[in-house]
Amino acid sequence: MTTGRADFGRLRRALRREDVGLPMAMMELHVDDAVMTSIMGRPTSRRDVLSLLEFQKAMGYDYVNVYSDLVLEFRRASVGGDGGPSGGRSFVDEQQGPITTAAEFEAYPWPDPQATTCGNFARARAHLPEGMAMIARCHGPFEWGTWLMGIQTFCMALAMDRDLVERVFARVSDLIVEEVSRMVVQEGVGAVWITDDLGFNQGTFVSPADLRRLVFPTYRAICRLARQRDLPVLLHSCGKLDAVLGDVVDCGIIALHSLPPALYDLASLKADWGDRLCLLGNVDVDLLTRGRPEDVRAAVRRLREEAYRGGGLILSSSNSIADYCRVENYLAMVDEARKV
């Protein structure tokens, strides 16, 4: 826990690759409810923006993630329970989504993009402490497009029903861009963060050419909207993105998360891309789950010594703080990052 004053201006400079010195700048994609509840000593949920805000303040973060009310309907599968409060985890169905044919595309209950509202921003803004900002979070077109179709159906359709794929992605893009246009004008927003898992451990899920046609135009549109308000744009993506890092930068994205250490040596990546990208992440989720606090502290010190100096690095886990991460390891990571 911390009582320090939030300073989003410092975090913004770190995102723009300025050397802000110690303590290390920190961000996190999200922390699961069980971990937050354990730390706060009371029920805490990232689905309640005020509950999340209290946690972010307590942990010393300079921002709070905020979403609009835009939601889509997907098919879900659960493992080890119903994926709800009773236990287990919920996943999007990989085989089939609600849209597998042109008829299902037409029948899908598409939300009206003009009806998207930003009530969560007003709620959070009323309680933001001085120095803290909101980060507007949006899903990316690859996530939403493949979730609507199911990744297996989507991959087959790339070869067998290209028209359906392009219709789905065009509609999703329209929704996201309209959503972002409404979020970036909210008072108190300091950045935009896209979440869009484009890859796995060996590369991107689909060819760079397909990403350039289906995904990156949406990123460019988001970045244009953000640039009009002088807002930095971050991208979270799992996987090895070497083949498209140049495209990501060309879209206008200035920061990339999550950079797992099994895929990326941060010092080398910074040498190659540090003049164009701020790097976020690299603290191994597996280490946070199965390691010891002293091992986590050593990993943070190594990043501080090898890649933090000179700017261009923000400390974060290599994905998120899942409910199976050890609370003491997460706290050790945060505490070590605060040292000067």
| Span 151-179, pLDDT tens digits | 999 999 999 999 999 999 999 999 999 99
Same domain, yes or no: 244 and 321: no
Same domain, yes or no: 104 and 51: no
Same domain, yes or no: 73 and 37: no
Instruction: Reply yes or no on whether the pLDDT at 83 is more than 60.
Output: no
How does residue 2 score in pLDDT terms, banded at 50, 70 and 90?
A: low
268: in domain: no
Q: Which of 203, 201, 205, 181 is nearest to 192 (CA)?
A: 181
Same domain, yes or no: 206 and 144: yes
pLDDT tens readout for residues 31-56:
999 999 999 999 999 999 999 999 99
What's the CATH code of the domain at 247?
3.20.20.210
Average pLDDT, the chain: 95
229: in domain: yes
pLDDT tens readout for residues 238-256:
999 999 999 999 999 999 9
pLDDT at 140: 98
For residue 24, count CB atoms less than 10 angstroms from its CB and return exposed for 0-12, middle for 13-18, buried for 19 or more. buried
Is pLDDT larger for residue 305 or for residue 340?
A: 305
Domain boundary among 226, 258, 290: 258
271: in domain: no
pLDDT at 90: 76
How does residue 91 score in pLDDT terms, banded at 50, 70 and 90?
A: confident
* pTM for this entry: 0.95
270: in domain: no
Same domain, yes or no: 77 and 48: no
266: in domain: no
Q: Domain range holding 20?
A: 1-62+278-340
267: in domain: no
Domain count, the chain: 2
Contact criterion met (CB below 8 Å) for 63 and 69:
no
CA distance 337 to 295: 14
pLDDT at 77: 75
Same domain, yes or no: 13 and 147: no
Same domain, yes or no: 117 and 246: yes
How does residue 79 score in pLDDT terms, banded at 50, 70 and 90?
A: low
Instruction: Reply yes or no on whether the pLDDT at 86 is more than 90.
Output: no
Same domain, yes or no: 138 and 197: yes
pLDDT tens readout for residues 3-25:
579 999 999 999 999 999 999 99
Same domain, yes or no: 33 and 131: no
Same domain, yes or no: 192 and 317: no
Domain boundary among 258, 286, 306: 258
Same domain, yes or no: 131 and 217: yes
Q: Which of 221, 228, 119, 126 is nearest to 184 (CA)?
A: 228
How does residue 92 score in pLDDT terms, banded at 50, 70 and 90?
A: confident
How does residue 225 score in pLDDT terms, banded at 50, 70 and 90?
A: very high
Same domain, yes or no: 202 and 246: yes
Cα–Cα–Cα angle for 56, 274, 233, nearest 5°?
Answer: 45
273: in domain: no
CA distance 299 to 276: 25
pLDDT at 145: 98
Written as six digits, the tokens of 136 are 């507007």
pLDDT tens readout for residues 181-205:
999 999 999 999 999 999 999 999 9
Judged by average pLDDT, the poorest of 15-24, 81-90, 230-239, 249-258 is 81-90
Domain boundary among 223, 258, 293: 258
265: in domain: no
